[in-house]
């Protein structure tokens, strides 16, 4: 039984899908005018972990992740349709490209980063710019039903018309009155009304025709349009980072539920903010790290993946280079463990050894994951297996059939963790050939040649070890 913390109910609830065996899932995707930072990566990793574990327990998942390629606006006041700069246009000016070129470039970067992180691609990555008609249809529906109003070519959602406004974030209109500061727009009735359609200034490059003006959609409406288009009116799970909750997803709920008359999302799942060296990430602090920054320091995408899995998604994780170093050590530990198991598994079986009960570990793993995806605890079960089995490997009491059993267990568990181990990396044919030649040199006692070949292999970024089971080759991590 899987329990997930639902931001909407503020409790851990038993997960049940709307349709038996199937899950519809939506993740707020990237705004493609800049590089992803590691906080974004962590939010997409959560989405990946949810999906992987649902598939592990037998669900068929359909995941949609949108690409925000319309040129706005993530600052809260700007997203409300008030003021501010168009970030896509700014990036276009800065990089001397068209907004479309900017969007495609950063979309490709996003896709590449997800690939390196071994995040399974969503089933579809719909682009906002390809769904303007769907957005217009929803806005028309909201106007018809009296939830929205138009003035001077701008259309706003009237938050006072939706009783449940604030149910996700706790920012009810009552609460928002206290201490909240928001820039006024002359065409708005209430300060917290948000834009559905914005009339484009003359010089604006990305604009479309609509019944109200030549303009562009507000930020929030795209997710409602794409979610209902690909997953239906009510979906099982919607994920995002904590910073998506307000105003973005609060607005998604308001406009979608008023339009369809049905509940929008059953489970809302969010990562908490990532801290870097105990501080909030920001450009001015210079701690807005990307995957490239991680790799420049000699770490890998998998080190980062393990680091994020090592803390619970709802804890305010602190990123530091020391913690990444620790994750790197742990990955090597797992890597060595798997290599040792493979060596034992390839031996002839000795059958009179005591058998290991792998179910105990599997149960621990599943119990941890079923409790709101507690990946640190699930990893602890793995480290426990490693300690226990390493002892047996050291005193040669592990049978090859047990080694095979544990390798199967790891494969199963790792379908959820999604770690690519360097020992399991594809070894290119040319390297395999060098390893073979070195074996021949060793057989012929040509140690000079053997050493030269080893140096050559290492130059290609591989590590060669001579074990009692023969040469072992793996990618240097
Ligand atoms: Zn969204």
pLDDT of residue 215 exceeding 70: yes
Q: Are residues 235 and 381 both part of a single domain?
A: no
Q: What is the pLDDT of residue 126?
A: 98
Has residue 76 got a pLDDT over 60?
no
Ion ligand 1, residues whose Cβ is below 5 A away: 28, 223
For residues 342 and 234, membership in a common domain is answered with no
| 317 within a domain of the structure (yes/no) | no
Distance 218 CA to ligand 1 centre (A): 12
Point out the domain boundary residue: 237, 253, 271. 271
- pLDDT tens readout for residues 19-47: 999 999 999 999 998 899 999 999 999 99
Together in a domain, 416 and 436: no
CATH number at residue 385: 1.20.120.640
Query: How many Å lie between the centroid of ligand 1 and the Cα of residue 414?
Result: 29
Peptide bond preceding 247: is omega within 30 degrees of 0, i.e. cis?
yes
Residues 228 and 88 occupy one common structural domain? yes
Residue range 228-234: average pLDDT?
98
Query: What is the whole-number distance in angstroms between the Cα of residue 273 and the centre of ligand 1?
Result: 17
Name which of 365, 309, 299 is nearest 332 in CA terms. 299
Span from the CA of 30 to the centroid of ligand 1 (angstroms): 9
Q: Do 169 and 33 share a domain, yes or no?
A: yes
**How many domains in the chain?**
3
CA 416 to ligand 1 center in whole angstroms:
25
Residues 149 and 184 reside in one and the same domain: yes
- Same domain for 240 and 333, yes or no, is no
For residue 47, give the 3-state DSSP assignment.
Answer: helix
Residue 178 has a pLDDT of 62
Q: What is the pLDDT of residue 79?
A: 40
Question: What residue numbers bound the domain in which 157 lies?
Answer: 21-271
For residue 270, the CA-to-ligand 1 centroid distance in Å is 12
Ligand 1 centroid – CA 230 distance (Å): 14
Backbone angles phi, psi at 235, to 5 degrees: -120, 160
- 8 falls within a domain: no
Backbone conformation region of residue 303, classed left if phi is above 0, alpha if psi is from -120 to 50, else beta: alpha
Say how many Å lie between the CA of residue 150 and the centre of ligand 1: 23
pLDDT for 291: 96
Sheet holding 154-157, edge to edge: 148-151, 154-157, 194-199, 215-217
* CA 390 / ligand 1 centre spacing (Å): 46
Does pLDDT of 92 surpass 80?
no
Task: Calculate mean pLDDT across residues 391-399.
Answer: 90
CA angle 112, 118, 120 (to 5 degrees): 90
Does 119 score more than 50 pLDDT? Answer: yes
Secondary structure of residue 452 in the 3-state scheme: helix
The answer to whether residue 211 sits within a structural domain is yes
pLDDT at 70 over 60: yes
Q: Give the distance (Å) from ligand 1 centre to CA of residue 271.
A: 14
The domain boundary, picked from 271, 287, 312, lies at 271
Give the pTM: 0.87
Both 398 and 446 in one domain: the answer is: no
d(CA 195, ligand 1 centre) in Å: 15
| Domain shared by 209 and 122, yes or no | yes
In a domain, 16, yes or no: no
Ligand 1 centroid, distance to 418 Cα (angstroms): 25
- pLDDT of 253 above 90: yes
Average pLDDT over residues 55-80: 76
Are residue 393 and residue 438 in the same domain, yes or no? no
- How far is ligand 1, taken at its centre, from the CA of residue 62, in Å? 16
Are residues 416 and 433 located together in one domain of the fold?
no
Lookup result for tokens 């939830």: 147
The residue out of 398, 420, 442 marking a domain boundary is 420
Provide the angle, in degrees to the nearest 10, between the axes of the packed helices 132-144 and 221-231. Answer: 100
340 and 401 in a single domain? The answer is yes
- The DSSP symbol for 238 reads E
- Read off the pLDDT of each residue in 101-105 and give the average, rounded to a whole number: 91
The Å distance, Cα 184 to ligand 1 centre, comes to 23
Ligand 1 centroid–CA 68 distance in Å is: 9
Cα 252 to middle of ligand 1, angstroms: 7
């Amino acid at each position: 039984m899987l329990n997930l913390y639902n931001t909407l109910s503020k409790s851990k609830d038993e997960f049940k899908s709307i349709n038996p065996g199937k899950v519809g899932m939506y993740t707020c995707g990237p705004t493609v005018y800049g590089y992803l930072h590691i906080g974004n990566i962590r939010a997409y990793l959560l989405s990946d972990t949810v999906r992987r574990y649902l598939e592990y327990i037998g669900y068929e998942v359909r995941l949609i992740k949108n690409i925000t390629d319309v040129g706005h606006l993530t600052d809260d006041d700007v997203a409300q349709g008030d003021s501010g700069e168009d970030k896509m246009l700014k990036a276009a000016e800065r990089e001397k490209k068209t907004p479309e070129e900017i969007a495609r470039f950063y979309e490709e970067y996003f896709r590449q980063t997800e690939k390196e992180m071994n995040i399974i691609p969503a089933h579809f990555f719909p682009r906002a710019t390809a769904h303007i008609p769907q957005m217009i249809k929803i806005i028309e529906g909201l106007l018809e039903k009296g939830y929205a109003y138009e003035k001077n070519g701008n259309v706003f959602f009237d938050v006072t018309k939706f009783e449940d406004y604030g149910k996700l974030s706790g920012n009810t209109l009552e609460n928002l009155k206290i201490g909240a500061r928001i820039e006024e727009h002359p065409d708005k009735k209430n300060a917290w009304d948000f834009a559905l359609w914005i009339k484009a200034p003359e010089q604006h490059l990305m604009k479309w025709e609509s019944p109200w003006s030549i303009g562009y959609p507000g930020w929030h409406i795209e997710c409602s349009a794409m979610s209902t288009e690909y997953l239906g009116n009510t979906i099982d799970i919607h994920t995002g980072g904590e910073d998506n909750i307000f105003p973005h997803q609060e607005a998604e709920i308001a406009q979608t539920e008023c339009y369809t008359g049905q509940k929008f999302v059953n489970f809302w799942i969010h990562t908490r903010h990532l801290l870097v060296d105990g501080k909030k990430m920001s450009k001015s602090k210079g701690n807005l790290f990307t995957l490239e920054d991680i790799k420049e320091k000699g770490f890998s995408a998998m080190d980062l993946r393990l680091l994020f899995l090592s803390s619970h998604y709802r804890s305010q994780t602190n990123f530091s280079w020391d913690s990444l170093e620790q994750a790197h050590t742990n990955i090597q530990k797992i890597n060595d463990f798997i290599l040792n198991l493979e060596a034992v598994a390839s031996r002839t079986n000795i059958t009179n050894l005591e058998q290991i009960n792998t179910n105990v570990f599997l149960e621990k793993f599943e119990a941890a994951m079923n409790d709101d995806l507690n990946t640190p605890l699930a990893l602890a079960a793995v480290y426990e297996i490693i300690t226990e089995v390493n002892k047996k490997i050291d005193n040669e009491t592990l049978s090859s059939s047990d080694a095979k059993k544990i390798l199967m267990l790891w494969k199963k568990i790792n379908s959820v963790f999604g770690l690519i181990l360097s020992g399991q990396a594809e070894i290119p044919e040319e390297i395999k050939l060098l390893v073979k030649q070195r074996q021949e040199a060793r057989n012929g006692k040509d140690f000079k040649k053997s050493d030269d070949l080893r140096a050559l292999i290492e130059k290609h970024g591989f590590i060669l070890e001579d074990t009692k089971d023969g040469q072992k080759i793996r990618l240097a991590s």
